[in-house]
Structure 1
């Protein structure tokens, strides 16, 4: 089955990913500087960052153009969001007071596993059954990118947390773009691994059957990340 992408939506997915990366850097500063209620800030950061990554994923899914309607199972979609928030929380918890090699590698592996579960769980939400399979090489490359992106994100969010001069702002913006590229790279590599067989179709029982519904979810995700970013900038 032929597939192609709406390039405007692909670009928007990159914008969401980069905005999420910048928000993650700023929220890390909040978490690290918090004397009281550190746990509350970790939860807030996890909700913002996880929702942003999840929103980028579904914008990438909306960008996918197939010759059949694309729909999603609502509960599986919700589960993919919860996974994204959970693994983000693990990452922020690990870097709350600093980064050690062992905990960094463990958290990177857990985050990568969560990102892959979120991504491929989101793909499973289409419930195509045998109509959707994956190329093994590209699948494992996407897993490797997920690990590298998770490890880099944890380090970047830690290293740049206290940079306040204009050079620091530029560094944060550049790092956010790098993180955005890594996240979108993992997503579209995973999408390239997907093979849709002729005659494949989404389950008629899927609850999220309208494109505007998915777009509404993504717009909500973008709003959450944007509001969290403004919150993080209030120093």
Structure 2
């Protein structure tokens, strides 16, 4: 079946993937500095929500860039399941990279599980179209997409763990560079998975009466960008507040030491 891509949406999906990756790197650094368990759990949950929505949004923006010669739509329940997988995978990723020590075995196991999770999100999102006959996948390209997801996930975990707590020298450049690499890898997995899909001639979208692509575009694009930006701002503000609080505490301790002998 004839298909085409909207290159503008393809480029935008890459931007969203990169922004989600940068948010993940920033949150990993923030969470690793939190010793208070309640705050740590809150940032893990909030970070997983923002990162998961970002990754999931990249996937569906990529789906929106793809058009067939027939009306298409998405099953609402299956679409929500794919979002849930993205959030769970994001929570797992943030949890792994903020551990005190990340061993090579843990890195490989974590990257593999995360890769399967991202692949599951992607192919479940494809299944939300409920095509009849079912979408056929080229085995070699299908396997390649999963391997790319595992490799990308392992690299992302390693980068996030390496950069957290790093000194300020060129940290921003390194984080932006790492986010670009991660964004390209995530997008690469998605479009490799799309390349593996074959829609037989005469296929019908069983979810054509469900969630319309236009509705998804209007909801996902502004919402995902807003959530990622707000999460980054809150992370920066919270880090600044913590820094000021610690500075005041140290200042008070110094004052007490100076005044102590005088008393």
Q: TM-score when scaled to structure 1? A: 0.95
Distance 1:48 1:158 in 2: 19
Matches within 5 A, 1:80-95: 80-95=82-97
Distance 1:120 1:159 in 2: 30
Matches within 5 A, 1:54-133: 54-97=56-99, 98-133=101-136
Distance 1:126 1:193, change over 3 A: same
Matches within 5 A, 1:64-213: 64-97=66-99, 98-165=101-168, 167-204=170-207, 206-213=209-216
How far does the alpha carbon of each residue in 1:24-75 deviate from its partner, in whole angstroms, 9 at most, with x for none?
A: 0000011101111211111111111111000000000000021112200000
Partner residue of 1:53?
A: 55
Distance 2:174 2:231 in 1: 20
Deviation at 1:210, TM superposition (A): 4.5
Q: Does 1:227 align with 2:230?
A: yes
User: Which protein has the larger Cα radius of gyration, Structure 1 or Structure 2?
Assistant: 2
Deviation at 1:3, TM superposition (A): 1.2
Partner residue of 2:261?
A: none
Distance 2:104 2:207 in 1: 47
Partner residue of 2:41?
A: 39
Gaps spanning 5+ residues in structure 2: where? 240-263
Instruction: Count residues in correspondence.
Output: 235
Distance 1:91 1:128 in 2: 32
Partner residue of 1:7?
A: 7
Distance 1:10 1:205 in 2: 22
Partner residue of 1:29?
A: 29
How far does the alpha carbon of each residue in 1:141-192 deviate from its partner, in whole angstroms, 9 at most, with x for none?
A: 0000000111011111111122353511011111110000000000000000
Deviation at 1:112, TM superposition (A): 0.8
Tell me if the contact between 1:71 and 1:126 (Cα under 8 Å) persists in the aligned partners: yes
Please state whether the residue corresponding to 2:205 is helix, strand or coil.
coil
Q: TM-score when scaled to structure 2? A: 0.85
Gaps spanning 5+ residues in structure 1: where? none
Please state whether the residue corresponding to 2:35 is helix, strand or coil.
coil
Q: Which runs of 4+ in 1 moved over 6 A?
A: none
Distance 1:65 1:82 in 2: 25
Distance 1:139 1:215 in 2: 30
Cα RMSD, aligned residues only:
1.5
Deviation at 1:9, TM superposition (A): 0.3
Please state whether the residue corresponding to 1:138 is helix, strand or coil.
helix
Deviation at 1:95, TM superposition (A): 2.0
Distance 2:216 2:8 in 1: 18
Tell me if the contact between 1:208 and 1:214 (Cα under 8 Å) persists in the aligned partners: no
Partner residue of 1:16?
A: 16
Deviation at 1:214, TM superposition (A): 3.9
Tell me if the contact between 1:126 and 1:206 (Cα under 8 Å) persists in the aligned partners: no
